[in-house]
Each structure stands twice: as structure tokens, then as C-alpha cells.
């Protein structure tokens, strides 16, 4: 029962570097999303996808790119890392639909930009 798997768990980047945070789920969920968590705060939505080929922006999308080529994978790209992107990143997945369904989260990626 892998659920939602994120890699890497920890990463240190220099300002201006790019990288991709990986997220994969094995539950055949249509909906996937990325959140960031800053100290003392709840999670905020970065980008989400309701199915392969469909993505949209959340509350804090600037500086991030996403794509969804398969149901299983939803990578998050940082194009040019900035210290303000130092945060813990969580990926989530759930079944889609307006009925509302339970979301499951990965174990998080702790990113530090120096």
C-alpha cells in the first residue's frame, strides 16, 4: 500500500537553480494537488489537476510549474529557486467529483533555498 509517494524527502538548492519534486500515487485517483506549508501556518494550495492533461492554479502558483501526463504522476517544477520558496511541500490525491472525497497526503519534501 504505497499511497502517495514524494521524492526527494529533503533538498537544498542554491538561488536560481531549478529542480523537480516528484509525486506518484497508486490509487487511480483523478485529482492531485500540491501544497506548501510555511512555519506556523496551514497548508496552501499551489497547483492542482483534475485529470491527465488538465492543470490549474491554486492560491500561491507563482514560481512553480506543473504538468499531468499520466494519472499516476504529478511533478512540481521550480524554474528558478528563490529563498521565499523554502518550505515543506506536500502532494495530495483523491477521487474527483463535486461530492467531495477524502484526500491522502504524501510524506512531504523539505526544501531549503540558500
Partner 1 sequence: GIQVEQSPPDLILQEGANSTLRCNFSDSVNNLQWFHQNPWGQLINLFYIPSGTKQNGRLSATTVATERYSLLYISSSQTTDSGVYFCAVGRKTGANNLFFGTGTRLTVIP
With contacts defined by CB under 8 A, how many residues of the chain interact with partner 1? 32
CA-wise closest residue to 31 among 76, 68, 60, 85: 68
Cα three-residue angle 69-58-66, rounded to 5 degrees: 25
CA-wise closest residue to 104 among 28, 46, 20, 39: 28
Name which position in 31, 64, 74, 89 contacts partner 1 (CB under 8 A): 31
16-24, 29-37, 63-71, 73-81 -> range binding partner 1 (CB under 8 A)? 29-37
Which H or E element spans position 79?
none
Beginning with the edge strand found earlier in the chain, give each strand of the sheet holding 76-78 in spatial order.
4-7, 19-25, 76-78, 64-66
Site for partner 1 in 40-79 (CB under 8 A): 40-45, 48, 50, 56, 58-59
Whose Cβ is closer to partner 1: residue 20's or residue 57's? 57
Name the minimum Å distance from CB 16 to partner 1. 27
Residues at the interface with partner 1 (CB under 8 A) = 31, 33, 35, 40-45, 48, 50, 56, 58-59, 88, 90, 92, 94-105, 107-108, 110
Amino acid at each position: 500500500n504505497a499511497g502517495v509517494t514524494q521524492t526527494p524527502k529533503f533538498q537544498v538548492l542554491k538561488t536560481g537553480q531549478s529542480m523537480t519534486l516528484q509525486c506518484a500515487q497508486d490509487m487511480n485517483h483523478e485529482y492531485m494537488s500540491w501544497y506548501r506549508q510555511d512555519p506556523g501556518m496551514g497548508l496552501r494550495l499551489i497547483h492542482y489537476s483534475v485529470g491527465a492533461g488538465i492543470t490549474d492554479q491554486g492560491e500561491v502558483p507563482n514560481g512553480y510549474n506543473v504538468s499531468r501526463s499520466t494519472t499516476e504522476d504529478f511533478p512540481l517544477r521550480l524554474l528558478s529557486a528563490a529563498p521565499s520558496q523554502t518550505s515543506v511541500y506536500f502532494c495530495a490525491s483523491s477521487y474527483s467529483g463535486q461530492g467531495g472525497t477524502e484526500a491522502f497526503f504524501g510524506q512531504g519534501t523539505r526544501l531549503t533555498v540558500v
